[in-house]
Amino acid sequence: MTATTTDAPVLLRGATLPNGGSADVLVADGRVAAVDSCAADQSRDVETIDCAGLVLLPGLVDLHTHLRQPGKEDAETVETGTRAAAMGGFTSVHAMANSTPTADTAGVVEQVWRLGRASGWCDVHPVGAVTVGLAGQSLADLGAMADSQAKVRMFSDDGMCVHDAVLMRRALEYVKAFGGFVAQHAQEPTLTAGAQMNESELSGVLGLAGWPAVAEEAIIARDVLLAQHVESRLHICHVSTAGSVEIIRWAKERGIDVTAEVTPHHLLLTEELVRSYNPVFKVNPPLRRDEDVHALRAALADGTIDTVGTDHAPHTAETKQCEWTVAAMGMTGLETALPVVQEAMVETGLMDWAGVARVMSATPARIAGLEDQGNVEEDGTPVVGSVANLLLWDPAVRCVVDPATHTTKSRNSPYEGRELPGRTVHTFYRGRRVVADGVLAEPFRHAPVEEAR
């Protein structure tokens, strides 16, 4: 069933704010028109939504999404991926560059950007490749991508590490010219050749080649020093080890301009799941020890890790439902991100809803330079006059995860059969209710590109 929606003003009555208070919030003309006021515009029809028991959060922002298009449409498309994003409460996603062809030219990033606008479920910001073809041999045309209609500011070879120190230095220097930053996939390739899971006693028991923590930590240590040396911005993708946390904390204490993200699955799942040899648990970086999970949670709570990035990585059944050693690495995550964060961070008492608003919206928006995303006060209250990118979340329900019901095109969720808390009730994107009562409604219709310049 497809829900209907309207562009008339909407009054969100009695919503629970991230600070624990409640308010009536008026959405009109695509913006937050009033907070803590019942003074709806009486000159026009106003739709009232009873939000009792629902937490009002800013629309979520993901710095790490794989939409697969162009070239891998059998696993995901911009249309299906952004529908999944809306269902997960996201109003902005960053599409990683490892498509086919690679997003290493202005033409490809503009194609992805246009597809996002045409879909209308959330903003799509293409991530430009750092190197041509993700090959790590020569820099891509970063300036052309930055000057394109997509206005790329985030560059990453995610899936591959920029392992050459000279190339990484040049990239960090280059992006300074237009206020960009490099997002590093920290994986020293010579230490992870043939690796299949976290290097530990368990990897020996299972007979799977180990992936040592130092392969991640060595690259992070090198790159924070490079960022300091050239005075540039560095973002670390999917931090997964306690040692990485300590390096990032050390760098921040010295004023180095580094930010970091953690995935939902690294906040909840451990290497013990690999005992099943089920390839749904095969991911890059690998699931780590329980000690790492707790270190990551603590780091997210205290601000050492800045954001949660889904690393939504859809794959076809043919590439995941096969022998472990040949299976693709990656998990879907857009539709389960907030439930996992609620379980791992909120229900453990490590974070309140204002903290969730910070790490899943306000901070990633700030890192990416998105002026119309994540506009909330310190306590998570929406800013009057800001674009109405909003999520109404029911934290009280619990649902058993069934990937067959997900909106993403792929089914490789590691949470299948697991009960997780919370669900998206309404998602507002630029004032349009794109998810209504838990189902997809109508997309936002952007002006033609020529008019939007």
Say whether pLDDT at 20 is over 80. yes
The pLDDT tens digits for 333-385 are 999 999 999 999 999 999 999 999 999 999 999 999 998 888 888 888 899 99
The response to whether 238 counts as a known ligand-binding position is: yes
**pLDDT number for residue 5:** 43
The response to whether 64 counts as a known ligand-binding position is: yes
Is residue 123 part of the annotated active site? The answer reads no
First to last CA, the chain: 36
Which CATH number describes the domain made up of 59-368? 3.20.20.140
**pLDDT number for residue 319:** 97
Looking at every residue in the chain, the average pLDDT score rounds to 95
The pLDDT tens digits for 275-288 are 999 999 999 999 99
Helix axes of 242-253 and 290-302: crossing angle, nearest 10 degrees: 30
- Domain boundaries defined on the chain: 10-56+382-445, 59-368
Please, is 191 exposed, middle or buried when counting C-beta atoms within 10 Å of its C-beta (0-12, 13-18, 19+)? Answer: middle
Say whether pLDDT at 318 is over 70. yes
The response to whether 426 counts as a known ligand-binding position is: no
**pLDDT number for residue 451:** 42
Give the residue-averaged pLDDT of 193-205.
97
Catalytic residue among 147, 223, 311, 402: 311
Weakest-pLDDT range from 39-48, 102-111, 360-369: 39-48
DSSP 358: I
* Contact status, residue 11 vs residue 46, Cβ threshold 8 Å: yes
> How far is residue 320's CA from residue 308's CA, in Å, rounded to a whole number?
24
Say whether pLDDT at 452 is over 60. no
- In 3D, which of 353, 414, 279, 349 has the Cα closest to residue 57? 353
CB atoms within 10 A of CB 368: 23
**pLDDT number for residue 39:** 52
Say whether pLDDT at 6 is over 80. no
Residue 413 structure tokens: 């969720």
The response to whether 153 counts as a known ligand-binding position is: no
Say whether pLDDT at 1 is over 60. no
CATH superfamily, domain 10-56+382-445, is Urease, subunit C, domain 1 (2.30.40.10)
Please, is 46 exposed, middle or buried when counting C-beta atoms within 10 Å of its C-beta (0-12, 13-18, 19+)? Answer: middle
Q: What are phi and psi of 76, to 5 degrees?
A: -170, 155
> How far is residue 46's CA from residue 105's CA, in Å, rounded to a whole number?
45
> How far is residue 16's CA from residue 59's CA, in Å, rounded to a whole number?
15
- Is-same-fold flag (10-56+382-445; 59-368)? no
**pLDDT number for residue 441:** 97
Say whether pLDDT at 290 is over 70. yes
The response to whether 312 counts as a known ligand-binding position is: no
CB atoms within 10 A of CB 401: 18
Give this prediction's pTM: 0.96
Question: By percentage, how much of the chain surpasses pLDDT 70?
Answer: 96
The pLDDT tens digits for 243-269 are 999 999 999 999 999 999 999 999 999
- In 3D, which of 272, 416, 422, 398 has the Cα closest to residue 337? 422
The response to whether 284 counts as a known ligand-binding position is: yes
Weakest-pLDDT range from 47-51, 72-76, 158-162, 377-381: 377-381
**pLDDT number for residue 38:** 58
Torsion 393-396-401-404 (CA) sign: negative
The response to whether 66 counts as a known ligand-binding position is: yes
Residue 211 structure tokens: 């992936």
Contacts of 142 (CB under 8 A, 6+ apart): 128, 130, 152, 155, 171, 174, 175, 180
Say whether pLDDT at 40 is over 60. no
Weakest-pLDDT range from 125-129, 192-196, 203-207, 370-374: 370-374
> How far is residue 410's CA from residue 385's CA, in Å, rounded to a whole number?
37
Residue 139 structure tokens: 């820099």
